[in-house]
């Protein structure tokens, strides 16, 4: 009897010891998992700090490069102080007979914002700069002083010295698209397609924007309109006029309450679009 009780007691103590041991092991495993998680977070933070530190050093180096360039070629700073240019002459190359002269204040106001230098651009192409845009040469005039920049890529100009490349606004090539002759390999059929591919859009005497996004968003809703065979009898008064500039062509969009008229130098198209007077005059976000 007594021997049996002793055996039962020993068994109970053994089970309690095993249970406590299991609890301790589980607790240790949980702590180790938490430690591993914290170490992973710390490693991730360390990597982020290293990346940001390297980026800061790179930006400081780029800023230093620009500062040094401005000390060597002071007129570069005119691009960054948004100089009010008297005119801009656009060419495809030096001595281009098809040069376009831009002296309208609305256009000049918009162009100056495209010229702001963000940082030095590093061109490390194996065969030189490769781009999908036409290169342009811009002559910037301030009184009788002339400054020349080359547009070599989307958002990249060469200025100050040969081989000095600078990041500017991505739309820097669009004045060339607006005013220079269309390259033979570029073709857009129809007024809507040409307007969507325009280099600039002008809203009456309010503003000019060199923006592919603005040009496309302004005309895109018209693809849902109904083209008419002839002019409607009474479209009403013009609500707003937009002019698109496509490789030297001026394309006009006249907006009415429920109609839109597109026209170029030789033709026009009428569309029925309910609420056009609101849809086509609201600014895109």
Q: Could you tell me how many residues make up the chain? A: 285
Distance, CA of 259 to CA of 237 (rounded, Å): 10
Helix or strand holding residue 147 (H, E): strand 145-153
Helix or strand holding residue 158 (H, E): strand 156-158
Residue appearing with tokens 């009897």: 1
pLDDT of residue 8: 60
Domains in the chain (CATH in brackets) are 76-177 (3.30.1490), 191-279 (no CATH)
Distance, CA of 70 to CA of 57 (rounded, Å): 20
Distance, CA of 105 to CA of 85 (rounded, Å): 9
Distance, CA of 5 to CA of 9 (rounded, Å): 6
Q: Which two structure tokens, joined as six digits, stand for 108?
A: 């000049």
pLDDT of residue 61: 45
pLDDT of residue 32: 72
Strand partners, 128: 126
**247, 181 in Cβ contact below 8 A?**
yes
pLDDT of residue 240: 95
Which residues of the chain are under the pLDDT cut of 70? 1-29, 31, 33, 36-38, 40-41, 43-63, 123-128, 284-285
pLDDT of residue 116: 96
pTM > 0.85: yes or no? no
Cα torsion at 78, 84, 90, 96 (round to 10°)? Answer: -80
pLDDT of residue 57: 42
pLDDT of residue 36: 67
pLDDT of residue 210: 97
């Amino acid at each position: 009897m007594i021997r049996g009780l002793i055996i039962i007691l020993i068994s109970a103590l053994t089970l309690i010891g095993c249970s406590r041991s299991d609890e301790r092991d589980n607790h240790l495993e949980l702590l180790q998992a938490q430690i591993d998680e914290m170490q992973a977070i710390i490693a991730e933070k360390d990597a982020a700090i290293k990346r940001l530190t390297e980026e800061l050093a790179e930006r400081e180096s780029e800023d230093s490069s620009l500062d040094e360039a401005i000390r060597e070629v002071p007129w570069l700073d005119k691009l960054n102080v948004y100089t009010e240019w008297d005119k801009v002459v656009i060419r495809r190359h030096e001595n281009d007979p098809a040069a376009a002269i831009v002296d309208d204040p609305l256009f000049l106001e918009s162009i100056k914002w495209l010229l702001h230098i963000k940082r030095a651009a590093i061109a490390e192409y194996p065969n030189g700069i490769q781009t999908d845009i036409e290169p342009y040469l811009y002559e910037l005039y301030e009184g009788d002083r002339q400054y020349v920049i080359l547009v070599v890529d989307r958002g990249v100009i060469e200025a100050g010295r040969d081989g000095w490349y600078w990041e500017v606004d991505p739309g820097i090539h669009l004045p060339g698209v607006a005013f220079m002759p269309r390259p033979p390999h570029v073709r857009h059929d129809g007024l809507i397609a040409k307007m969507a591919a325009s280099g600039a859009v002008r809203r009456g005497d309010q503003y000019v924007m060199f923006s592919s996004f603005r040009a496309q968003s302004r005309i895109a809703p018209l693809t849902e309109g109904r083209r008419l065979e002839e002019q409607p009898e009474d479209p009403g008064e013009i609500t707003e006029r937009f002019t698109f500039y496509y490789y030297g062509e001026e394309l006009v969009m006249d907006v009415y309450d429920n109609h839109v008229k597109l026209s170029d130098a030789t033709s026009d198209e009428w569309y029925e679009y309910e609420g056009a007077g609101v849809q086509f005059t609201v600014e895109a976000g």
